Structure 1
Amino acid sequence: MKKVVIIGGGLAGLSAAVTLAYQGLDVQLFEKNEHFGGKLMPVQLGDYTFDFGPNTITMPYVFQQVIEQTGERAEDYFELIKLPAHTRNVFSDGTELIFSSDQQQMVAQLERLDPSGARRYPAFIKEITRLYNLSQQYFLPRTFRSWRDYLSPSLGAALLQVRPWQTLDDFFRSYFSNPKVMEAYNRYATYIGSSPYQAPATFAMIAYLEMVEGVYYVKGGNTKIAEAFTTVAKKWGAHLHNHTMVKKILVSKQRATAVELANGERIEADYIIMNADLLTAYPELVSEEVRPAFPNKKVEQLEPSISAFVILAGVNKRFPQLMHHNVYFSSDYKQEFIDLFNRQTYSEQPTIYICNSSYTDVTRSPNGDNLFILVNAPALPSTRQLQIDPQAYKEKIYASLAAQGIDLAPHLVEEQIFTPATIAETFGAFRGALYGLSANRKKSAFLRPQNKSKDIANLYFVGGSTHPGGGSPMVTISGQNVAASIIETI
C-alpha cells in the first residue's frame, strides 16, 4: 500500500485525504493546530460562535463532491442554505445596493442607481458566465506539474479569451457608470487578495459565482465543511493528527523519503503533499540546496496578497440594518488600495466588511449578533513589525461604524482581535497574507506556483498559495486535482 503524508489540515489537505484514503492509500495527515480546516477555524467566545473564515461560501458542489465520491450523501454531513439577497453594500453617502442572485431584483436597483448599467446587466451576466465557463473547462481542473503544462494549445487559446490584458476595474467600467456600483463590484478583487486596478479582468468570474450561482451558508457554521471532510477521511482509514508539527522533509536523490516531526519521529512516505503555505513552509521544511528552482531569494521577490485586521465582536443586541453580509465602503476606495499595495500601510478610511451569521442562524449567538468585522490590511513587512496599535485601529473602525448607525461599544460582551501577525503565526501564512500571492502581476495571476515540485519528484503542493488559487472552493479543488494526479501514477 502506497503511503502518503499530508502536511497541513486545511480544506485542501483534507480534500486530498478523503480522496486518497477512499482509493485505498495509507494517508497520514499532520496539523500543527488543534482544529482541522485551516483558516476555516471555529472560535467560541462565551455564548458567541464565529467562523474565522471564509464567511462566504460559493460553488457548493465542490464540497459536496468530495463527500459524494465515496458513495455517501453530503447532506448527511452539512446543510447548505442559499442566501438570495446576500450582501448589503453601503456607501459613504448612505446609498445602498443589495447584491442578489435574483437578476430582476438587481435590475430594479440598477434602474434607480445606474440606468445604463441596468440596460447592460443581461450582457454583463452573459460575459461573466462565459469567463467562468472557460475557467471551469481549462484552468480549474488542471494540475500544473511542470512548465510544459502551460504550453497546451487549448490552454493558450483559452487564456487569450479571458481578458488577461484588461483590469477588473476596466471590465466593470464597460458595463456600469455609477462609481458606487463600480466600487461594489471592484471589491471582488479582495477575494483574491488583490487590487481591482491591477488584477486582470479574468477574475470577474467571481461575480458569476455570487450573482448567478449564489452565496451559501452552512447551518451551524461553515466550519461544518471541514468537520465533514475530517469525519469522512477518518471513516476511510486516513490517520489525522492534530497538535503535531512537521519539522523537516527528508530528501534523498531528488525524492522525498520521509518527514521528521517536532518530537524527532520519522514518518516514511511514497508521496508528500504540502498543504502548509508554500511560501513559508517550503523554505522552512526543505533545505535550499535540494530546491534550486525555488531558492529563498525567489520568495523574497514575490508580492504577497493583502492580509486582514479582524475583530470578533459579540454584542447583546440585534442590529436590524445588518444582513448576513455587509460592506461599508470608504469615501475613497481607490486610495485604500494605494495605501495597501503602494504604500504598504493601513488605510485611514478603510472599507469595513461585517459577517453577521446570526442573521441567518440565530443559534450561533442566541443573545445578540456575532459580528465578524474585517478590514483589508497590508501584508507584514519583511521585518514583521506590526505597524499599528491594534487597540487604536479597532477604535477607529468602531467610530466609523458608529457614524453609520452601528454603535457597538455600549453593547460589547465578547471581543477578540486578529492582526496580520496573528494570522502569520496561527496559520503559517507568508507575511500574514490571506491568499498567498496577489494577482496584481500577470505572472502571479496566471502562473501561480505549480502543484508539483520541480526539484523533488514526489512532492506536491496544494492550498491557496498554489494553483488554482485562494478561496475555499479553489483550495478544495487543488486537493482533488493533486489526489487525482497521484492516483494516476500508481
Structure 2
Amino acid sequence: MKKVIIIGAGLGGLACGIQLQHAGFDVTIIEKNGHAGGKMMPVKIGDYSFDFGPNTITMPGVFKRVFSNVGESMEDYLELIRLDHHTKNVFRSGDSFIQSIDPHFVISQLAMLDPYGAKNYWGYLKEVNRLYGQAESGFFHRSFHSWLDYLSPGLTKAFFSVRPLETMAHFHKRFFSSPDILQVFNRYATYIGSSPYKSPATFSLIGHLEMNEGVFTVKGGNTKIADAFSQVFKKLGGTLHLNEEVSQIVIEKQRASGVQLKNGTKIKGETVIINGDFITATKQLIKEKDRPSFSTKKLDAYEPSISAFVILAGLKTFQKDIHHHHVFFPEDYRKEFQDIFTHQKLPDDPTIYISHSAYTDRGISKGSNLFILVNAPAVQMQSEEAVTHYKEAIYSRLEEQGIPIRSEIEAEKIYTPDSIAHLFHAYKGALYGVSSHKKKDAFLRPRNASKDTAGLFYVGGTTHPGGGSPMVTLSGLNVAKEIIDQHKKKDSDRTKSKKSTNS
C-alpha cells in the first residue's frame, strides 16, 4: 500500500487525506496542535464557546464534495444554516447597511444610501456572477506553474476576462458611488489578506458568493466541519496524530521519502504533503540545499498578507443588537491599509469586525460570544503594555457604539500576530501567506507540486487556489486528484511494459 504523510490537519490536509485514503493509500496526518482544523480552532473559556475562524462560510458545495466523493453524506455530519441577512455594516456617518441575498432588500437600502448603487446593483450581481463563473471553470480546479500556463487554449481569454489588471477599489466604483457603501464591498480584499487599492478586481467575485449564493454558519460552530472531516478520515482507516510535530522532511536523491518528528522518530512515506504556511514550512522543514528554487533570501522577500489582532470576549448578558456578522468602519478606510502595509503598524482608526455566532445559534454559548477582529500588519507586537493599550482602545470604540463591553465581560482572550505565528507557524503571523498586491503573487501563488522535490506537495491557504475555507478545501481535493492520477498512470505504464515484455 502506498504510504502518504500529511503535515498539518487543516481543512486542506484533511480533505486531501480523505480522498487518498479512500483511493487505497495509507495516509498518516501529523498535527502539532491538539485539535484538527488548523485556524478553524475551537476555543472554550469557562461557559463561553468561540470559533477562532473562519467565521464566514461560503461555497457549501465544496465541503459536500469531500463527503460525496467517498460515499458519505455531509448532512449526516453537519447542519448548515444560511444567513439571509448576514452582515450589518455601521458607518461613522451613523448610517448602517445590511448585506443580504435578497436583492430587493439591498436595493431598498441603496435607494437611500447610494442611489447610483441602487440603479447599478443588478448589473453588479451579474458581473460578479460572471467573474466567479470564469474563475470557477478556468482556475479553481487546476494548478498554475508559470505565466505560460495562461497561454494554453481557452485560458488566455478567460484570464483577461476576470479583470486582472484593474484594482478591486476601481472595479467597485463602476457600480457604487457612496464612500460608505464602497467600504463594504472593498472589505472583500481583506478576505485574501490584502488591500482593495492594490489587489486585482478578480477577487470581487467574493461578492457573488455572499450576495448571490449566501453566507452560512454551522450548527454547533464552524469547527464542526473539521470535526466531521476527521471522523470520515478515521472511519476510512486513516491515522491522525495530534500534539506531534515534524522537524524535517527527509529528502533522498531529490525525492521526499518521509519525515522526522521532533522526538526523533522517523516515518517513511512515498509522498509527503505540507498542509501549512508555504514560507515557514519550506524554510523550517527543508534544508536550503534541497530547495534551490526557494532560497531563504527569496522566501523572506515575499510581502506577507494581513494578520489580525483578535479578542475573544464573553459577555454575560445576550446582546440581541449585535448581529451574527457586525462591522464598524473607520473614518478613513484607505488610511487603514496605509498603516498596515506602508507603515507596518496597528491602524489608528481600524475597521472592527465582530462575529457573534450565538446570535443565530443560541445554545452554543453562555451570553454573547464575541469574536472581535481588527486587521493588523504581520509584525511583532512591541510589548504586553502595547497589547493592553490597543485592546482598551477597541473597547472604548465599541462602547461608543453602544456595546457594553467592560460592564458585561466575564471571559477574555487575546491573540496577536505573534501568537498566530506561534500557533500556526504562520509567516510573521500572516493569515493568508503572501499578499495579493503583485499580479505574480495574486495569480501565481506557490504551486501545489514542489519545483525541487519529487513526491512533495503543498495544500492550504498559502498555495493555489488561495485562502478561505472553501479554497483551502479545494486545494486538498486538487492535490489528491493529481496524486491519484499520477499513480494510475504509473500503474498503467507498468502494465503496458509487462505486456510488451511478455509479447
State the Cα deviation string for residues 4-43 of structure 1 (Å, max 9, x = none). 1000010000000110011110001100000000000000
The separation in 1 between residues aligned to 2:155 and 2:303, in whole angstroms, is 25
> Contact (CA 8 Å) 1:146, 1:454: kept in 2 or not?
no
What is the Cα deviation at residue 149 of structure 1?
Answer: 3.8
Report how far residue 152 of structure 1 moved. 1.9
> The residue matched to 1:144 in structure 2 has which SS?
coil
| SS of match in other structure, 1:455 | coil
Contact kept, 8 Å, 2:138 with 2:158, in 1: the verdict is yes
C-alpha distance in 1, partners of 2:406/2:95?
24
Q: Spell out, residue by residue over 1:203-240, the C-alpha distance to the aligned partner (whole angstroms, 9 max, x if none).
A: 00001100000000000000000000000001111101
Secondary structure at the residue paired with 2:142? Answer: coil
Q: CA deviation at 1:363?
A: 1.1
Name the counterpart of 2:369: 370
Which residue of 1 is the match for residue 410 of structure 2?
Answer: 413
Matching residue's letter, 2:390: Y
Aligned residue in 2 for 1:21:
21
Could you tell me which amino acid in structure 2 is paired with residue 93 of structure 1? S
Give the TM-score normalised by structure 1. 0.98
Name the residue aligned to 2:340: 340
Shift of 1:165: 1.0
Alignment map for 1:311-322 (pairs within 5 Å): 311-322=311-322
CA displacement at 1:387 relative to structure 2: 9.5
Residue 68 of structure 1: how far off its partner (Å): 1.4
**Equivalent in the alignment of 2:500:** none
Q: Secondary structure of 2:154's match?
A: helix
Q: How far does residue 146 in structure 1 lie from its aligned partner after superposition?
A: 6.3
Question: Would you say 1:439 and 2:446 are equivalent positions?
Answer: no
The aligned runs of 1:192-231 (5 Å cut-off) are: 192-231=192-231
Give the aligned residue type for 2:455.
N
- Written as runs of structure 1 = structure 2, the 5 A alignment for 1:152-167 is 152-167=152-167
Structure 2 distance, partners of 1:372, 1:112, is: 31
Q: Which residue of 2 aligns with 1:448?
A: 445
Aligned in 2, Cα 1:145/1:21: closer, same or farther, shift over 3 Å?
Answer: farther
Structure ID, larger Rg: 2
Aligned length: 487
Q: 1:379 and 2:378 equivalent? A: yes
Per-residue CA distance 1:344-379 (angstroms, 9 max, x = gap)? 11111111000000000011113x100000000000
Q: Is the 8 A contact 2:145 2:444 kept in 1?
A: no
2-side partners of 1:3 and 1:151: how far apart? 36
Q: Tell me, yes or no, if the aligned pair for 2:248 and 2:259 is still in contact at 8 Å.
A: yes
SS of 2:323 mapped into structure 1: coil
The residue identity in structure 2 corresponding to 1:212 is N
The alpha carbon displacement at 1:265 in A equals 1.1
In the superposition, the TM-score normalised over structure 2's length comes to: 0.95
| Residue identity opposite 1:439 in structure 2 | S
Distance 1:98 1:264 in 2: 54
Structure 1: tracts of 5 or more residues without a match: none
Partners of 1:313 and 1:300 in 2: how far apart?
35
Contact (CA 8 Å) 2:305, 2:432: kept in 1 or not? Answer: yes
> Are the counterparts in 1 of residues 248 and 261 from structure 2 also a CA contact under 8 Å?
yes
Contact 1:143 1:485 in 2 (8 A): no
Aligned partner of 1:63 in structure 2 is 63
Structure 2 SS opposite 1:116? helix
2:388 is equivalent to residue 391 of structure 1:
yes
Quick check: 2:315–2:408 contact (8 Å CA) kept in 1?
A: yes
Q: Structure 1 residues 180, 7: CA separation in 2 closer, same or farther (over 3 Å shift)?
A: same
- Classify the secondary structure of the residue corresponding to 1:58: coil
Deviation at 1:156, TM superposition (A): 2.2
- Summarize the Cα distance change of 1:175–1:283 in structure 2 as closer, same or farther, 3 Å threshold: same
Task: Give the 4+ runs in structure 1 shifted more than 6 A.
Answer: none
Alignment of 1:242-253 (within 5 A): 242-253=242-253
SS in 1 for 2:198: coil
Q: Is the CA contact 1:33–1:242 (under 8 Å) kept in the aligned structure 2?
A: yes
Of 153-162 and 407-416, deviating more is: 153-162
C-alpha offsets along residues 107-148 of structure 1, whole Å, 9 cap, x if unaligned?
Answer: 111111111111111110000000000000011000335665
Deviations 1:386-438 (A, max 9, x none): 69711110000000001111121000000000000000000110000001111
Aligned counterpart for 1:458 among listed residues 444, 455, 458 = 455
Tell me, yes or no, if the aligned pair for 1:146 and 1:450 is still in contact at 8 Å. no
Task: Tell whether the 8 Å contact from 2:144 to 2:444 is kept in structure 1 after alignment.
Answer: no
3-state DSSP class of the match of 1:389? helix
Residue 106 of structure 2: aligned partner: 106
CA contact (8 A) 2:200 2:442 kept: yes
Unaligned stretches of 5+ residues in structure 2: 488-503
In structure 2, distance between residues paired with 1:388 and 1:205: 40
Partners of 2:193 and 2:358 lie apart in 1 by 26
CA contact (8 A) 1:145 1:453 kept: no
Shift of 1:300: 1.1
SS in structure 1 at match of 2:313: strand
Match of 2:296 in 1: 296
Q: Indicate the SS of the match to 1:164.
A: coil
Whole-Å Cα distance in 1 between the matches of residues 146 and 212 of structure 2?
34
> Contact 1:380–1:386 (CA<8 Å) still a contact in 2?
no
Q: Quick one: distance in 2 between partners of 1:14 and 1:350?
A: 34
Match of 2:499 in 1: none
Q: Which AA in structure 2 matches 1:379?
A: A
**Contact persistence 1:462–1:478 (CA under 8 A):** yes
Q: CA deviation at 1:323?
A: 0.8
The AA in structure 1 aligned to 2:260 is: E
For the residue of structure 2 that corresponds to 1:140, the secondary structure is coil
Q: Which deviates the most, 101-110 or 153-162?
A: 153-162
Partner of 1:153, secondary structure, is coil
Q: Does 1:276 align with 2:273?
A: no
Alpha-carbon spacing, 1:401–1:53, altered in 2? closer, same or farther (3 Å): same
